[in-house]
Amino acid sequence: MYQHLLGLESPRLGGRSAWRVAEVRLDVGAETIEVVAEHPEGTPAAAGCPECGLSLACYDHAPPRKWRHLDSCQFKTYLIASIPRVQCPEHGVRQVGVPWAEGSSRFTLLFERLAIDVLLATQTVKGAMGLLRTNWDQTWNIVQRAVARGKSRKVDGPLPRIGIDEKAFSKGQRYLTLLYDLDHSTVEAISDSNDTEAGIDCFSQLSEGQIASVEAVAMDMSAAYVKAAKAVIPLADQKIVHDRFHVMQLATTAVDQVRRGEHRLLGRGETSPLTKTRYLWLTSLENLNEKQRGLLDEVCEQNLQTGKAWAYKEMLRDLWHHADAASATDYFKDWYKRVIHTKLAPIKKVARTIKQRLANVMSYCTHGITNAVAEGVNSKIMAIKRRVGGYRNKQHFKTAIFFYCGGLNLYP
């Protein structure tokens, strides 16, 4: 039975020799099954030299090794075999490959495939450990091998639309920089920190062909990432697209600054009309319910500075609804003239910031991309991070990101 389940051929006279199941050991108390595979002495090796592929006779056998296989009912099943070695005239004595496992692995191919499926389903190493009945080191080794395997197989295809963003690794302002393929929602490169050097390192991990294929790069308004893109990507000035979400985030933060300042002034000696209204100003109008809209109308009727700042923020959202850059630019100029003559210092600061980067904000009309895909992937990464209670090892965090979000072919 195990001869067939493992896909092993029996030796045939005059033909190519292979492995056979010589013994099956059952230990009911320990709930284990050991399947002993044998390669007869003096027969040709099951494979040639692993370096050059030259077919050679078996030289000797290495000491017995053990591989974890798929369980037989409730019993853990192990495959045990002494691997033959060949003596290559060019490369010397080499251990040949076996048909049921990859080199240096302690698991059969079928078990590794099952383990990867379980890891992807549970999204935690500890959760997979309980189902697979493996320890942490064994399970994490499968993750590392899968990522290394996937990276080695990955083809450097074109990346016309990419995004770059930062991701917090742990408390204390410790960040990673991630590069995304916006068309396939995958992480393509990771580097430490969130400065210009980190951005350059991320872009430089792409091949020359991939860098040449870039048509648009979505990013926030970070000067560091702008410098990095200009240092690596040809004609980056025409390809950078400042993400609309981050631009509107600046405007929303400015509205909140106006609210806080006005709330302090109005709250001296009496109840401020802005009490318990913070959520109203931070939320888009269409996301408010009927009661919240009624409260917003009441506050706006009092002609407060916060209401004016909120109105300018809502007007700015229409900037991305124009069909072309020319009309969007005209709209911004009109909005800018209105804002710059107000006394709303935080909103005026946002207006000047956008004006300085206007070309790369307006490039949205040409390329039509945002960093929404990157934010979605970041949410997935955060969910994985929360499930495991965080990562203390930065390299392990990177490996987990590639495993779950790298779009890699992980299976052996």
Task: Say which CATH number the domain at 223 has.
Answer: 3.30.420.10
Q: Considering the domain boundaries, does residue 68 fall inside one?
A: yes
Per the domain annotation, does 324 fall within a domain?
Answer: yes
Q: Judge if 78 and 131 occupy the same domain.
A: yes
Q: How far, in Å, are 55, 189, 227, 239, 402 from residue 200 at the CA level?
A: 47, 11, 8, 16, 19
What is residue 307's three-state secondary structure?
helix
Q: What angle do CA 192, 196, 201 make, to 5 degrees?
A: 50
From 92, 94, 243, select the one nearest 164 (Cα to Cα). 243
Domain membership flag for residue 156: no
Structural contact between residues 324 and 365, judged by C-beta atoms closer than 8 angstroms: yes
Burial of 282 (0-12, 13-18, 19+ CB in 10 A): middle
Sheet containing 92-95, strands listed edge to edge, beginning at the edge strand earlier in sequence? 60-61, 84-88, 92-95
Judge whether 106 lies within some domain: yes
Residue 281, CA distances (Å) to 168, 251, 266, 286, 351 in order: 26, 11, 17, 12, 18
Same structural domain, 84 and 141: yes
**Adjacent-strand bridge partners of 26:** 33
Report in angstroms the alpha-carbon separations of 223 from 197, 199, 220, 277, 356: 12, 11, 9, 33, 11
What does DSSP assign to residue 324? S
The pLDDT assigned to 16 comes to: 46
Q: Are residues 147 and 19 in the same domain?
A: yes
Q: What does the pLDDT look like over 172-194, one tens digit per residue?
A: 668 999 999 999 999 999 999 99
300 has a pLDDT exceeding 90? no
Structure confidence at residue 43 as a pLDDT band (50, 70, 90): low
pLDDT at 288: 85
Report CA-CA distances (Å) from 383 to 93, 254, 304, 377. Answer: 48, 29, 40, 10
Looking at residue 278, its pLDDT comes to 87
Tell me the residue length of the chain. Answer: 412
| Span 38-45, average pLDDT | 63
Q: 39 and 117 share a domain?
A: yes
pLDDT at 201: 96
Query: What count of Cα atoms within 13 Å lies in the side-chain half-sphere of residue 380?
Result: 18
| Cα-based distances in Å from 318 to 41, 244, 268 | 79, 11, 36
- ∠ at Cα 217 (216, 223), nearest 5°? 140
Question: Mean of the per-residue pLDDT values for the chain?
Answer: 89
Please check whether residue 191 lies inside any domain of the structure. yes
The answer to whether residues 239 and 249 belong to one domain is no
Q: Which of 151, 182, 212 is the last residue of a domain?
A: 151
Number of domains in the chain: 3
Range with the largest mean pLDDT of 288-302, 341-355, 386-400: 341-355
pLDDT for 126 beyond 50: yes
**CA 292 from chain center: how many Å?**
37
Q: What is the mean pLDDT of residues 7-24?
A: 66
4 band by pLDDT with thresholds 50, 70 and 90: confident
Q: Which domain holds residue 232?
A: 161-243+369-405
| 214 and 249 assigned to the same domain | no
Q: Which residues of 95-113 are buried (b: 16+ CB within 10 A; e: fewer)?
A: bbebebbeeebbbbbbbbb
The tokens describing 316, both together, are: 């700015």
Positive or negative, the CA dihedral 166, 116, 50, 78 is positive
Question: Which of 183, 185, 166 lies closest to 175, judged by CA?
Answer: 166
pTM, two decimals, is 0.85
Phi–psi pair at 272, nearest 5 degrees: -80, 140
Question: Based on the domain organization, do 16 and 99 belong to the same domain?
Answer: yes
Q: Which of 398, 396, 383 is nearest to 137 (CA)?
A: 396
Tell me, yes or no, whether 172 and 118 share the same domain.
no
Domain stops at, among 95, 123, 151: 151
Burial zone of 61 (CB within 10 Å; 0-12 exposed, 13-18 middle, 19+ buried): middle
- CA–CA separation, 45 and 65 (whole Å): 17
- Tell me the per-residue pLDDT of 231-279, one tens digit each, with 9 for 90 and over: 999 999 999 999 999 999 999 999 999 999 988 888 765 678 888 888 8
Residues 231, 379 share a domain: yes
Q: Does 194 lie in the same domain as 80?
A: no
Residues 396 and 349 in one domain: no
Domain membership of residue 410 (yes or no) is no
Do 334 and 397 lie in a common domain? no
pLDDT higher than threshold 60 for residue 15: no
